[in-house]
C-alpha cells in the first residue's frame, strides 16, 4: 500500500494519464506481527522520475520499490519489494 500510494500521488490528475500495474512482488518476514505494523516507502522521488521517463519516452517503464514494516517497538517485521510498471496512455484523436 505504501508504494502504491506514492505512485497514485504522482499520477493524480496527470495529463496525459498514466497507467500503473504491479508486475512483481517479493517479500521477506523477520518477526511475527502481533501488534500494529507500519510500512514506509522512501522511493517517492524515484517513482516520480520513472513516471516522467515513461511519459517522455512513450514506453513502459518499471521500478522496483521497497517498503519496510516495523512494529510499535521499531523492530523490523517485514520487507517487501514491489515492481511497478508505468506507461502513458495513448491519446485518442
Check: CB of residue 11 under 8 Å from CB of residue 52. Answer: no
CATH T-level fold of 2-88: Thiol Ester Dehydrase; Chain A (3.10.129)
pTM: 0.88
Beta-carbon contacts of 74 under 8 Å, excluding residues fewer than 6 positions away, are none
Domain ranges in the chain are 2-88
pLDDT digits (tens, 9 = 90+) for 36-91: 999 999 999 999 999 999 999 999 999 999 999 999 999 999 999 999 999 999 76
Closest CA to 43 of 20, 70, 68, 21: 68
Distance CA 80, CA 24 (A): 11
Cβ neighbourhood burial of 45 (10 Å; 0-12, 13-18, 19+): exposed
Amino acid at each position: 500500500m505504501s508504494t502504491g500510494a506514492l505512485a497514485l500521488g504522482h499520477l493524480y490528475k496527470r495529463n496525459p494519464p498514466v497507467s500503473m500495474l504491479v508486475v512483481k512482488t517479493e517479500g521477506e518476514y523477520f518477526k511475527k506481527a502481533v501488534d500494529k505494523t507500519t510500512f514506509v516507502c522512501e522511493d517517492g522521488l524515484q517513482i516520480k522520475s520513472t513516471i516522467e521517463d515513461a511519459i517522455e519516452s512513450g514506453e513502459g517503464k518499471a521500478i522496483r520499490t521497497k517498503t519496510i514494516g516495523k512494529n510499535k517497538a521499531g523492530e523490523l517485521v517485514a520487507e517487501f519489494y514491489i515492481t511497478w510498471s508505468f506507461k502513458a496512455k495513448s491519446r485518442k484523436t
